[in-house]
Structure 1
Amino acid sequence: MSPRPASTVPYVLATPGYLAGGGDRGHLTELLLRGHGWHNVSTIDYHTALASPDGRLHAVHDRRAGWTWNLRATHPDGREWEAILGDHLPVEYVTAMVDAMRHPPTPHSHKVLDPLREAGWSTDGAGPAPTAVSPDGLVRVTEQPSRPGRPMTWRAACTVNGYRWWTAAFSTHTPPGVVTAFTRSLARNDLLPRMAIGMPLYGCGPYTRLARASHGWDDERALLEARIADARARRNTGSQAAAPAAKPVLPTAALRTRWPRRPRAPAPTSPFFSVVQEPSVPHTPRPAEPSPIAAERPPRLAVFLFRRYLRACIPLEPGHTVPLAGARPETVLAEARRTGHRHHD
């Protein structure tokens, strides 16, 4: 077997992840559609709107808002929440938040800034809005109350040389587990694979470390297909464990019932569907000459026959007088027999 040719698209590994760019969005959309059974509910072109099978969770890649990610869901008690994520936020971070959305929230409270503190981010918890700043000072995560006595909201931004590459905003009632998945992704120092073209991001070179990758696009597709197969297997196993399929009850000899044959519906009485059978009438040859016009015939029929014979008896030559003008039908018939003109229909 000949070895597989190397991928023509070179890849690199970028760190820190929050400067690696958005990546391939299809890794998330295909995973949700083919792996977790989500549905594409988009109604416009070049716009991705996915909904979970139960319709409670939504993940939208909104082209009308600069290709931002929009995650939203509804709590069992009816409360709604929403997260708006910038386009250049790594898709791996968005995938981690969607995974947290899919699982029910844990009863214990989350401190969303703890993963950042443990990773060496500087925090300031003395002010009214606790804030965590990355070691290079490019990313800030702020936890601030919307109103006194109300749940927290969270905001984050990545700014390099005055240019804001991405933002993240989490509304009130966002599950702390979803925000914790976001801060945990920021705290991790994983190398994210990206196409070498376009890396590093503009102006981010002094803060980005790149390493040559030994795999390419084909390997990324293989990893995605493996994740899809694993998610599909877990979903099938979970559904079977939650609700085992009941075996169909086959009818036995004692249960079999011979239903009476359905009676045939009577013939429709509507004139559009009724079929009238005409009585058979023996064929009689047409007489050689038409029957004489009698006084008992209907007036309309008599007039019709009179006009027919009149047309047959009028000569076609110009200047010839019409002797039968104003005559009675009986006179026309007698004149026709006398002159022997042919009758034309």
Structure 2
Amino acid sequence: MKRRQRRPAGWSPAGAELPQPHYLVEPRHLAGGGDMRHITEYLCASGWKDRTPRAGSPLCFESPDRTVRVGYAEHIIPPTWTVSCGPQNDDGAGAGWHATFGAAVPVEILAGFTDALTRPPAPHAPDVWRPLAQRDWAVGKKGHHTASSPDGSAMLQFRQEEGRACWWACANATTVAGTSSRVWSAVLSDTAPLYAVEGFAAALSDPRPLLRPPGHIPFAAARQVTATPYMVLPSQLGAWQRTRLAAARATTRAKAGWSVNRARPTGHTPPAYTTPAGAGGRRR
């Protein structure tokens, strides 16, 4: 008997691409972790180096200036994303700053923080609370400076206790029976770059739902979660990621050009058609 060949997803006898079922999940902070390539491929497109061991775990990516590291460790319980800057011991102590994010933090929200680290700081002074207040989060001070989502299932705080300070975020899910459980939490040093914390806050409070395939909505049973069926072509998914990576490469080229121009002595005229060294980010 002749064995049938496996056909790729989206294939049809007529050769036309078939839409695949997905879901638009809201609120986004309860959509589940998602595809980590949303973060890792963007870092590589921004010129970061993949320092992951050959064994494949833990994932590790390093900034071009070798000062910041983004990692994901799935061999620990619970699996955790870590972002750190500066010299660091095995336990994370001694880092210039350090941040940890639970694996259930949607990658699109975590990317608000990691994407910001690949770009020059914005010219305006960062304001972590601004995007939250603009999106109807309740911002105030009840012991700690706190912002809560409209449905109360997510929170961002700036905590100051016993002479120590940090940023702390969490998301909670409530079942139909009324029981509540912690879905994820994140802790960021008070010395973490404010523009990156602002990026995280903006992505956390973004009201737009997140796209997830069937079987990848771990908190679908939560009372707050709405999953709306949505058909999408496989080529659309690829195009959206390519657009995102193209933006990362463009930003990297612009940043490299800005650095070269800034360092050039006054009055120096560059030769025609010179491309700044390192202008092209690593392609993946």
Query: TM-score category by the smaller chain?
Result: 0.7 to 0.9
What is the CA–CA distance in structure 1 between the aligned matches of 2:37 and 2:158, rounded to whole Å? 31
How many angstroms does 1:108 deviate by? 5.5
Aligned to 1:193: 211
118, 140, 150: which one pairs with 1:135? 150
Identity of aligned residues (%): 26
Aligned partner of residue 232 in structure 1, secondary structure: helix
Distance 1:18 1:62, change over 3 A: same
155, 170, 180: which one pairs with 2:168? 155
Provide Cα deviations, 1:25-70, integer angstroms capped at 9, x if missing partner.
Answer: 112111211x112111122433210001111121111113333111
Q: In the alignment, residue 159 of structure 1 is paired with which amino acid? A: N
Q: In the alignment, residue 181 of structure 2 is paired with which amino acid? A: Y
Q: In the alignment, residue 196 of structure 1 is paired with which amino acid? A: P
- Normalising by the residue count of structure 1, what TM-score does the alignment of the two structures yield? 0.61
Aligned to 2:37: 26
73, 77, 83: which one pairs with 2:85? 73
What is the CA–CA distance in structure 2 between the aligned matches of 1:241 and 1:112, rounded to whole Å? 26
What is the CA–CA distance in structure 1 between the aligned matches of 2:98 and 2:234, rounded to whole Å? 33
Aligned partner of residue 214 in structure 1, secondary structure: strand
Aligned to 1:54: 65
Distance 1:79 1:198, change over 3 A: closer
How many angstroms does 1:158 deviate by? 1.2
Q: Which ranges in structure 2 are unaligned for 5 or more consecutive residues?
A: 1-13, 88-93, 174-178, 262-269, 273-284
**Which moved further from structure 2: 129-138 or 231-240?**
231-240
Distance 1:241 1:174, change over 3 A: closer
What is the CA–CA distance in structure 2 between the aligned matches of 1:103 and 1:227, rounded to whole Å? 14
Q: Which has the higher contact order (CA 8 A, sep 6+)?
A: 2
Aligned partner of residue 241 in structure 2, secondary structure: helix
Asked whether 1:45 is paired with 2:60, we answer no
Q: How many residue pairs were aligned?
A: 238
Provide Cα deviations, 1:72-124, integer angstroms capped at 9, x if missing partner.
Answer: 2249xx97111101111111111111122223445765442332233222334
What is the CA–CA distance in structure 1 between the aligned matches of 2:38 and 2:133, rounded to whole Å? 30
Aligned residues of 2:101 and 2:186 also touching (Cα < 8 A): yes
Distance 1:79 1:103, change over 3 A: farther
Q: In the alignment, residue 195 of structure 1 is paired with which amino acid? A: P
Aligned residues of 2:220 and 2:226 also touching (Cα < 8 A): no
216, 220, 225: which one pairs with 2:242? 225
Aligned residues of 1:11 and 1:216 also touching (Cα < 8 A): no
116, 126, 130: which one pairs with 1:114? 130
What is the CA–CA distance in structure 2 between the aligned matches of 1:112 and 1:124, rounded to whole Å? 13
Aligned residues of 1:105 and 1:175 also touching (Cα < 8 A): no
How many angstroms does 1:246 deviate by? 6.1
Distance 1:74 1:102, change over 3 A: farther
What is the CA–CA distance in structure 2 between the aligned matches of 1:98 and 1:170, rounded to whole Å? 12
**Which moved further from structure 2: 156-165 or 209-218?**
209-218
What is the CA–CA distance in structure 2 between the aligned matches of 1:198 and 1:209, rounded to whole Å? 14
Within-5 A mapping of 1:171-182? 171-182=189-200
**Which moved further from structure 2: 209-218 or 180-189?**
209-218
What is the CA–CA distance in structure 2 between the aligned matches of 1:178 and 1:60, rounded to whole Å? 16
Distance 1:133 1:226, change over 3 A: closer
Which structure shows the higher strand fraction?
Answer: 2
Provide Cα deviations, 1:215-241, integer angstroms capped at 9, x if missing partner.
Answer: 144321221122223322443354345
